Amino acid sequence: MSTTNARHLKILMLTWEYPPRIIGGISRVVEGLSRALATVGHEVHVVTPEMPGSPLEDNDQGVFIHRVRIESPTPTFHSWVLMMNHYLTKRVGRLINEIGSFDIVHVHDWLVLPSGAETKAFCNSTMVSTLHSLECKRSGGVNTAESKMVDSLEWWITFESALVIVCSKSMKNDTVKEFGVPEDKIWIIPIGVDPEKFRRCHPDRDLVRAKYGANKGDKLILFVGRLTQQKGCEYLIRAIPQISKQFNTKLIVVGDGSYREELESIAKASDDHKIRFTGFLPDNDLTELFVCADLMVIPSVYEPFGVVALEAMAAGLPVVASNVDGLGEIVVHERNGILVFPKDSSSIAWGISRILSDSANTQRLIVNANNDIRTRFSWDAVANLTLDLYHRALLMGSDGKR
């Protein structure tokens, strides 16, 4: 990492998820960035909700983790978010009394924005934020009361922050259009990945595959993500009967969410003995699956970036992905993966067949993907870009003005 930004910084990360609490991609982003910043000497504190079985106070490779109990009953998700912010802010207040103020308050998505804005105000720190996705795209429009609330919180992030990070050109364009933000306030910084966790993983391939019901000779297709309509898993499930005409396959669907029951119903009407739902998996089990599968399919309808694509590429797993949003900026068709049309099961089936039927070409894609991970998506590179942003934000001051 460059030593251009040599000033020691005290950084607060606010996030609603951090390993082992993994809901979506935010958890991995905060973990990877925080570790990389701590490695080069910055003091990084992560304040996040509690996770059963994990200590409230922890040190993760030099990153100080402060997990917070949400002590009030919450009948709905949005009421939980409200109480979460209350208790996060209380913990941040105690933390500031213990160790002093922070140079940077880094807010990760709308769910922790209220706590971030309060922290910025009472300790006069500089706030930056990362928008990991946008409600107007996730929900196909801002039409419900809940969507309008989330959309307004996302606007609030852009207002309160000195600078805003997004992960792709398409997301920058969407943010500028949706909220009227000046283009120079939005910085594109890609997400990173740690290939070492896959290189350290050496499971018994046959045992792992058998654990998930794959027979010898089966091609194991992997889907990893939240089970929501945004992720497009239904189109992959509907592609399985077409693929099964050419190959013996087993689709493993890893993740959970509000759309799971509907997806299981679609699977029963398709080729359900070839499809297995696992729910959320522990990190070690998921890493083993990445190493032992034959390909990853990411059939998203909306995907601002696609952490799963990077993890698959880092694991040496060929990728078939929808050509949407930031996902289409990571996966370059026929260079480091295969792009297919979104919401199109026949196109997904073609992409899977392209991977499984031409081993020489697939190996070429894997090699190119590995090179991209090394040169474009290392956490050192991402942390260095983020430090540039921090220092620019500090020059602008806590009010976000130059």
Looking at the fold, whether 208 and 157 belong to one and the same domain comes out as no
Dmax (CA) for the chain in angstroms is 65
Q: Is residue 101 part of a domain?
A: yes
With a cut of 60, say whether residue 4 has pLDDT above it: no
With a cut of 60, say whether residue 400 has pLDDT above it: no
AA identity, residue 49: P
Dihedral angle sign, alpha carbons of residues 292, 295, 299, 300:
positive
The Cα-based distances of 306 to 245, 311, 385 in angstroms read 29, 9, 19
AA identity, residue 288: E
**Residue numbers of the domain that contains 265:** 196-376
Tell me which H or E stretch contains 75: none
Q: Is residue 124 part of a domain?
A: yes
Q: For 151-209, how does the pLDDT look when each residue is reduced to its tens digit (9 = 90+)?
A: 999 999 999 999 999 988 888 999 999 999 999 999 999 888 888 889 898 999 999 99
Q: Is residue 3 part of a domain?
A: no
ω into 20 cis (within 30 of 0) = yes
**Helices 345-357 and 359-376, packing angle to 10 deg:** 100
| 30 contacts 108 by C-beta, under 8 angstroms | yes
Provide the whole-model pTM: 0.80
Identify the pLDDT of residue 5.
52
With a cut of 90, say whether residue 109 has pLDDT above it: yes
Identify the pLDDT of residue 2.
41
Residue 348: give its domain's CATH number.
Answer: 3.40.50.2000
**Number of folded domains that form the chain:** 2
Identify the pLDDT of residue 3.
40
With a cut of 90, say whether residue 141 has pLDDT above it: no
| 233 contacts 223 by C-beta, under 8 angstroms | yes
Eight-state DSSP code of residue 129: E
127 bridge partner residues: 105
Among 40-49, 323-332, 350-359, where is mean pLDDT lowest?
Answer: 323-332
Residue 294, Cβ neighbours under 10 Å: how many? Answer: 20
Q: Is residue 1 part of a domain?
A: no
Question: What SS3 class is residue 142?
Answer: coil
Identify the pLDDT of residue 142.
86
pLDDT band per the 50, 70, 90 thresholds, residue 282: confident
pLDDT band per the 50, 70, 90 thresholds, residue 7: confident
Q: Is residue 2 part of a domain?
A: no
As a whole number of angstroms, the distance between CA 141 and CA 149 comes to 12
Q: For 227-244, how does the pLDDT look when each residue is reduced to its tens digit (9 = 90+)?
A: 999 899 999 999 999 999
